[in-house]
Amino acid sequence: MASIKVPEQKVILCGEYGVGKSSLFRRYAYDTFVSGSSRQLTLGLDHYNKEYRINDKSIGLQLWDTGGMERVASITSSYYKFAEAAILVFSLDNAASFHVLSQHLLEIVTYAENAKIFLCGNKMDLEGSTPQVTEADMESFCEQCHNLISATYKTSCKTGEGVEEMFRDIAYHLVQSNRSRIELQSVDVNAFKIAPAEEVTEPSCLC
Amino acid sequence: MDEEYDAIVLGTGLKECILSGMLSVSGKKVLHIDRNKYYGGESASLTPLSELFTKFGAPAPDESTYGRGRDWNVDLIPKFLMANGQLVKLLIHTGVTRYLEFKCVEGSYVYKGGKISKVPVDQKEALASDLMGMFEKRRFRNFLLFVQDLKEDDPRTWKDLDINSTTTLQLYEKFGLDKNTQDFTGHALAFYRDDAYLDDLAIKTIRRIKLYSDSLARYGKSPYLYPMYGLGELPQGFARLSAIYGGTYMLDKPVDEIVLENGKVVGVRSGSEVARCKQVYCDPSYVPERVKKVGQVIRCICLLNHPVANTKNALSTQIIIPQKQVNRRSDIYISVVSYTHQVAAEGWFIAMVSTTVETADPSKEIQPALDLLGAVHQKFIHVSDYFEPTDNGTESQIFISSSYDATTHFETTCMDVVDIFKRGTGEDFDFSKVKADLGQEEQ
């Protein structure tokens, strides 16, 4: 434990099935886009670490996908635990996916009460054809949420527009809000992850 | 729901979630249903605190006393993880460990003659222990050294003992251990719940003590781990594993019928929908006609606003009351966790007393344990039936887990899961099938 590592900041994706959470994940992680929507596409997506450098400070974002659990059931409460940020994702061409966000917001504030919350309208490439959610709608949502929303974004996973900018901005917000905490390393020092035991070829001698 | 699956899993308790995860990882198409609207079944941790009070019909808890309700996550079935045990191995091999954080339980105590003492786990502690007299300490130390050095594949380490025929009692006698030492060794180190093990093979006892000392060596203070936010995080972690490998989850879904054709399962009906499948895996509550009651377990949840006396103010402990100490046939276990694990509001402790029921008045049976706890703010007692499946499932292809027993750790839980998996799939679980391509591995 010679070097102090800046802890990864857990960032979770929240929102209805089909709004493009896994597409955001895939853009973020591999900068790819797969068209068409099939359940298969979400398979195997768990979480992905990425480093950002913000004004001389480096911060690791660890983005988590839902694993598709929200398709029929609800997401486990443990998905939210330890999250530093949550991105509420909706589809700009689907008003229903926007109006249901208050429900997702409630789960975030219940299970990840310290997380910073961001609002992301995805599929902006489709917005022109069927504009269902406007900037004004997004603004009034933020007002209704008593300023719980730290920032809003519009993205297109298809073209890649706005995606990297969003994650960079979220990294910036987290550096700002966590500055003192990261410097003090005041994360719970007693809790740990379990890892495979070191393979010891020769059992240690007790004599 | 109207699709065909390889397996339908009913109930999201820990055993079912591990099975669901293992089946999905093995490439099976899995549908996982729970009749409740939350994950975890009996393995859930109740939150907020009012859920616990409602469950037991008590008036709502007062926030000025108990703090914020949602700071509480109260387990219904108390258990710890052995740091080197089966569940930890499963967590590591499946990668579910990445979803969880743990703390080491601070101490392990054993009851003798009305008071508790720290369980000595190495020769240094053995020599300092107040459980034994001077000469007994030396004998116990020699015994511990023998157990630690013994290698099953190296007869030279057996010290003239035929490990394949010697009984535990003969082993104890060889080292001259007195009844008291035998008592805490068998019950607090090897976790036998009664004394039948004395006539069983010594090697079994030796393996259990080794598990204890290997677990202790992993993280230090005690051989036990406990997850932050409570045990309910465990089934959720395995459920996520299953979902990531393609498992479909449905909560709040009534299960009305397990559909059979020629004595073999073909589907599960909910209302008018039928999901077809080749196999069903479930807990006893979904198949009351296919399980038998083999006993009862009493569990008592106690909310305290102070640590347990004589545990050095530990924020987490395990206390074992060996059967003989209180004239019983099965041990009484106490597990204590607290606000440090995010399962209680600041300053609060949750002590759980559990044991196998032996009389018609089970709440009286746990009195010696309650006496150790001191002032208890609120107490909830529940007695639950312990069920086992009536058959091994190979004919009906319905594989049923046993209820959670009174043991203090997850070793029997995992043995049941691994056994069911083998019966269901005909193979041992291949850990190498869990690929590391889930996002990216921890560096």
Phi, psi of B300 (to 5 degrees): -125, 120
Q: With 0.80 as the threshold, say if the pTM is over it.
A: yes
| Strands ordered across the beta sheet of B102-104 | B81-82, B224-227, B102-104
Q: Does the structure show a pLDDT above 80 at B4?
A: yes
| Better-predicted residue by pLDDT, B236 or A199 | B236
Indicate if the pLDDT at residue B380 is higher than 60.
Answer: yes
CA gap B413, B405 in Å, rounded = 8
Digit-coded pLDDT (tens) for A108-155: 999 998 899 999 999 998 866 666 899 999 999 999 988 899 999 999
Question: What's the confidence (pLDDT) of residue B251?
Answer: 95
Structure confidence at residue B341 as a pLDDT band (50, 70, 90): very high
In A5-64, the residues whose Cβ lies within 8 Å of chain B are: 29, 39-40, 43-49
Average pLDDT along chain B: 92
Kindly list the residues from chain A whose CB atom is less than 8 angstroms away from the CB atom of residue B245.
43-44
Helix pair B86-94, B411-425: axis angle to 10 deg: 60
**How many residue pairs from chains A and B have C-beta atoms closer than 8 A?**
103
| Contact map slice: B 205-224 vs A, CB within 8 A | 218-219
Q: Is A191 on the interface with B (CB under 8 A)?
A: yes
Q: Quick check: A202 pLDDT over 50?
A: no
B237 touches chain A (CB under 8 A): yes
Quick check: B435 pLDDT over 50? no
How close A120 comes to chain B (CA, Å)?
Answer: 22
Q: Which residues of B touch A191 (CB under 8 A)?
A: 101-103, 228
When pLDDT is cut at 50, 70 and 90, the band that residue B11 belongs to is very high
Give the A window 92-121 contacts with B, CB below 8 Å.
110
Q: Model confidence over B406-421: pLDDT tens digits?
A: 888 998 999 999 999 9
pLDDT at B437: 38
Answer whether A74 touches B (CB < 8 Å): yes
Q: Give pLDDT tens digits for A45-94.
A: 889 999 998 887 888 999 999 988 888 888 899 999 999 999 999 999 99
Q: What value does the mean pLDDT take over residues B330-342? A: 96
Nearest CA in chain B to A207: B145
Q: Quick one: A10 exposed, middle or buried, by C-beta within 10 A (0-12, 13-18, 19+)?
A: buried
Residue A36 pLDDT greater than 80, yes or no: no
Picking from B240, B250, B251 by the largest number of A CB atoms within 10 A of its own CB, the best residue to mutate is: B240
- ipTM of the prediction: 0.83
What residues are paired with B354 via a beta bridge? B299, B333
Q: Show which of residues 73-132 on chain B sit within 8 Å of chain A, judged by CB atoms.
A: 83-84, 88, 91-92, 95, 97-104, 123
> What is residue A180's predicted lDDT score, i.e. its pLDDT?
59
The answer to whether the CB atoms of A206 and B148 lie below 8 A apart is yes
Please give the average per-residue pLDDT across B45-49, as a whole number: 95
The pLDDT, as a whole number, for residue B372 is 97
Taking the C-alpha atoms of residue A49 and residue A61, their distance in angstroms, rounded to an integer, is 6
Please state, in angstroms and rounded to a whole number, the distance separating the CA atoms of residues B194 and B8.
Answer: 37
Burial class (CB in 10 A: 0-12, 13-18, 19+), A107: middle
